[in-house]
Chains A and B, each alone.
Chain A
Amino acid sequence: MTTVANPEYAIDVRGLNKRFGEKHVVRDVSLRVRRGEIFGFLGPNGSGKTTTIRMVCGLLKPDAGSGTCLGHDIVREREAIKRKVGYMTQRFSFWEDLSIAENLDFVARMYEIPHRKEAVRHAIDTLGLASRARQLAGTLSGGWKQRMALAACMLHQPSLLLLDEPTAGVDPRARRDFWDELQSLAAQGISVLVSTHYMDEAVRCHKLAYIAYGKLLAQGSADEVIASQRLSTWAIHGERLSALQEELRSRPGVEQTVTFGDALHVSGTDAGLLEGTVRAAAGVDGRSCEPVETSLEDVFIYLMGKTPDNSGGTA
């Protein structure tokens, strides 16, 4: 099957499948990422995010499925993809016994970047690494490591960034700076596929996809993802909420209960049934309740709970 590249999409893959022995890690995943878009990739640990990203950038060969990445076939033109894509691995994968400058210089040589020294100096300056350029990467804190990794991924001026949980273990301020940087890159027309567990990051993405147990469960903008699950949600305030939570779990119409600070969110797909249950339960002990908009987090927790608790085997 030949795939015709659509210039509108940086990533356009259909029906990706990957098995590792018995484990079916990725099942029929189709993704479309527009150029200049920040595309968030969400899902629990071990859901197949990393494997999907590796297939998109040509590190792994899919067992089934096809598609293009930056117009190149993901099976046949893996080398071409590697040259145009910046891939940041989940774990820090640069050389800890090299300094920032040495790591960047190595990467620049690997990509045979013209005017290497200037390119490295430019990368160091843009990401504000100058003060630490001579420090060994192994002695950097999480935030600095991740900035260095981003600088290394950007050296060969890729038009697509694949970032696998880039902000895991990074403090909130460094995370915010990192996302500001991503947004300015996207504004320059660079496409970004980023996997994350953080809701505040998910809401900053233009598009989202939610994957669990290898299957894509929802895809679209944040609003579309929320709407697709048809959940109504009520917030209950008051005393003894954890006892109430236990009680409500088995009541008709209640599919999910989540505590957010001092509020208990109760969600269900049958709005009428849910309202009756919530009003009856909240009426006592001076508790109050009100309908609220279903948040992205409500939806993700709902999606996570909907799927069977295994990562392979039976579908």
Chain B
Amino acid sequence: MRRPHTGSKTGFSPMRWWSMVLKEFTQLKRDRLTFAMIVGIPIMQTALFGYAINTNPKHLDTAIISADSTDITRSFIAAMQNSSYFKMVGTLPNEAAGREALARGKVLFVVNIPAGFTRQLLRGERPALLIEADATDPTATGSALAAVSGIAQSVIDREIAGPLSNLHGSPAPFSVRVHQLYNPDNITQYFVVPGLTGMVLTLTMVLMTGLAITRERERGTMENLLAMPATPLEVMTGKLVPYIGIGLIQATIILLAARYVFRVPFFGNIGAVYLSALLFIAANLTVGITFSSLARNQLQAVQLGIFFFLPNIMLSGFMFPFKGMPGWAQALGNLLPLTYFLRLIRGILLKGNGWTDSWPNVWPMMVFTVVLMLVASITYRKTLD
């Protein structure tokens, strides 16, 4: 009979320990998706945090309503551009058009130069320019607005010279009034809490549906389902319905907290909020089904979910100003349903947006859902045989 060659049974055996290490490595090597995560997550995170995210966003879209175009007003616009915070993207005919562009999120700022501005300035009547800002996200607009008084001063110093010098003094020859719309008190919670609905729905819907279907396959119960008369459509849709209900409950919890704990203003129609949530839930369920047909087991379904979740936090405008990201990051963000849902729910709650203002964020989610539904049904059919 062979005797064990280690003396003590309970002590630490380097041999046993090493065999444990080797076994773990061998198993890791076999698990391709885990391997991809080991390499992929640091690369993805570095790229996103290193390049995409910017909490001091510049070159923010700005429109001009100009009823008075003179050297002085042009100088002011040029100074805004030069500050690098503002990017002039066009002119608008009137204040109503300005409000609409702000409501739809096309621009973050509208500069309104009233008629006779220069004349009043020269007469020493000390007129005011108006900058309207979409302040739903205080982080996005804050730095730019802080730069405004400096810009005005530099214009005064440069333009009010020579024969106009007598206009100097207090108060300044002209002033800039900043009008912060939608979130005038710059309360971050107004921005973050409604967005949380989207974040939570993404996480739970994708993971839960991904797991629910993979679980049937992993436990062998899928074979049993297939042997019964149920059709794939009945199985799939039947499995998904409970999760729609769960999603709506989650949305309700967050909305209640938003309303009664954080006192977020609800300007828009609450029915529209729920319709948006339903559409968003549908979009995420199709992601979950697609993952479940790609994943071979529940662990892989979770890993795919995390892969999907990371860019959603970073690139959707949930945590970091969307407009502050470089073009490639915005393009990626525009592929995610969360990006549109965040704009929708914030627009409806904080801006009181109606159907026409919301539509530009509704159809991309519909397209996303239909496309992924096709992908899911193709991949699902493969797993039957």
Contacts and interface: CB of A to CB of B under 8 A. Distances in A.
Interface residues of A, number: 19
Given A60-B385, A61-B385, A111 B228 contact: yes
Contacts of A39: none
B221 A95 contact: yes
A59 B226 contact: yes
Contacts of B219: 93, 95-96
B229 interface: yes
Nearest to B227: A87
A297 B347 CA distance: 77
Interface string A86-107: 0101011111100000000001
A83 B220 contact: no
Contacts of A92: 220
Chain B contact residues: over half helix, strand or loop, or mixed? helix
Contacts of B224: 89, 93-94
Interface in A111-153: 111-112
B65 to A, nearest CB: 63
A94 B222 CA distance: 9
B76 to A, nearest CB: 68
Contacts of B230: 110
Contact of A110 (B220, B221, B223, B228): B228
A57 B228 CA distance: 10
Given A60-B385, A61-B385, A83 B229 contact: yes
B385 A110 contact: no
Contacts of B221: 93-95
Interface in B348-385: 385
A11 to B, nearest CB: 16
Interface residues of B, number: 11
B212 to A, nearest CB: 12
Interface in A60-104: 60-61, 79, 82-83, 87, 89, 91-96
Interface string A158-191: 0000000000000000000000000000000000
Interface string B218-243: 01110110111110000000000000
Given A60-B385, A61-B385, A82 B223 contact: no
A116 B327 CA distance: 60
Contacts of A60: 385
Contacts of B228: 82, 107, 110-111
A156 to B, nearest CB: 9
Contact of A59 (B220, B223, B229): B223
Given A60-B385, A61-B385, A111 B220 contact: no
Contacts of B226: 59
Given A83-B229, A110-B230, A89 B385 contact: no
A79 B229 CA distance: 6
Interface in B324-349: none
B358 to A, nearest CB: 40
A57 B229 contact: no
Given A89-B224, A92-B220, A110-B229, 15 more contacts: A59-B226, A60-B385, A82-B227, A82-B228, A82-B229, A83-B229, A89-B220, A89-B223, A89-B227, A93-B223, A93-B224, A94-B224, A96-B219, A107-B228, A110-B228
18 contacts: A57-B227, A59-B226, A60-B385, A61-B385, A79-B229, A82-B229, A83-B229, A89-B220, A89-B223, A93-B220, A93-B221, A93-B223, A94-B221, A94-B224, A95-B221, A110-B229, A110-B230, A111-B228
